[in-house]
Structure 1
Amino acid sequence: MKIKVKYFARFRELAGVSEEIIELPNGSRVSDLIEIIKERHPKFKNEVFAQNEDADVNVSRNGSYVSFDEELKDGDVVALFPPASGG
């Protein structure tokens, strides 16, 4: 299945692209997608997941926030956002 991945803010800089299509086997979850992203984009892996394999990453699937356990479907659009900061 094909998943469109969109990167926002700092994640866009680390991935070096604003979006891409990633192919995954049927039944894959967000966590599987994250593993492929880490393989494709070493800067993303090294800076976001360097200290913590469960790094604080906001993930939306088709406009709704989801967990890393969420199952993906062909044609989904997944967006990755860094945690919000400020005060």
Structure 2
Amino acid sequence: MLLLIRYFGAAQAAAGTEEEKVVLPEGSTLGDVLDVLIREHPHSVAQSKGAPALDSVIARSSFLRNEIACKDRSSVLEDQDIIDILPPFAGG
């Protein structure tokens, strides 16, 4: 299945891109896709650019699946889902 991952704020800096497409097997969960993203964006690459590591950003982020909050990392995803990674935002 094909997923679109969109990164915001610190997640974008850590991943080095605004969005990317990821192919995963049918039946994959939100947790599975997050594991894949962490492997594909290792600490060393982000830190060499002065960005936070993606795994640390993901640990404190919230997620949207097709623009609806998704807190359950065991949620099974479907082909063409859009996953937004939203780190905490500062300001007020």
TM bucket, shorter chain: 0.7 to 0.9
Instruction: Give the TM-score, by structure 1 length.
Output: 0.84
Structure 2: give runs of 5+ residues left out of the alignment.
Answer: 47-51
Identity fraction in percent: 29
Which of 72-81 and 54-63 deviates more? 54-63
Structure 1: give runs of 5+ residues left out of the alignment.
Answer: none
Letter matched to residue 42 of structure 1: P
Shift of 1:49: 3.2
Q: CA RMSD of the aligned region, Å? A: 1.9
What secondary structure is seen at the aligned counterpart in 2 of 1:5? Answer: strand
Which whole-Å CA distance do the structure 1 matches of 2:11 and 2:90 have between them? 14
Letter matched to residue 82 of structure 1: P
Shift of 1:41: 0.6
Aligned to 2:86: 81
Equivalenced residue count is 83
Which whole-Å CA distance do the structure 1 matches of 2:13 and 2:55 have between them? 15
Q: Aligned pair 1:20/2:20, yes or no? A: yes
Instruction: Give the TM-score, by structure 2 length.
Output: 0.79
Letter matched to residue 38 of structure 1: I
Q: Which runs of 4+ in 1 moved over 6 A?
A: none
Shift of 1:69: 1.6
